Copies of this chain bind each other. A is one copy, B any other.
Amino acid sequence: MNEDYMKEALKEAKKAYKKLEVPIGAIIVKDGKIIARAHNLREKKQSSLAHAEIIAIKKACEKLESWRLDGADLYVTLEPCAMCAGAITQARINKVYFGAKDEKNGCVGSIANIFDDIPTTHRVKYEYVDNRDCSYILTKFFKELRHIKKM
């Protein structure tokens, strides 16, 4: 785990935060280089697909001109949902690092485990990295959102 990469994913989460999107960021690294970076844009794009991981995978495929992201690692500030975990598997990503657990929707150990429990030919490795900044920005966002809704 390279902490600098998680910091870059966090920078992306901060961009989402400023746009009033749920603050989640992701980056994809291959051969020591960041090949894609993205943040959640579901509300702005009004697309249920616009999670940070999906946008990052789209960009990485475009960059490499290949649907196979073999050897690439994905850093994301929050545990992926089923769609994103499935997309990570489809893209043949090597390893996923996530900075906070998602007890409601996380499908890499919290409510399910797409990587371990679904028998696919490509097996994605993963590591939960307890990064307080990743969870703090989410807590802060939802606290402020509740405050706004009460006004």
Contacts and interface: CB of A to CB of B under 8 A. Distances in A.
Given A48-B69, A49-B54, A87 B91 contact: no
A48 B87 contact: yes
A50 interface: yes
Interface of A: 42-43, 45-51, 54, 57-58, 61-62, 65-69, 81-87, 89-92, 105, 107, 111-112, 114, 117-120
Nearest to A64: B46
How many copies make up the complex?
Answer: 2
Nearest to A117: B112
A71 B87 CA distance: 25
Contacts of A89: 82-83
A120 B51 CA distance: 17
Contacts of A45: 61, 67
User: Which of A46, A50, A84: most chain B Cβ within 10 A?
Assistant: A46
A63 to B, nearest CB: 11
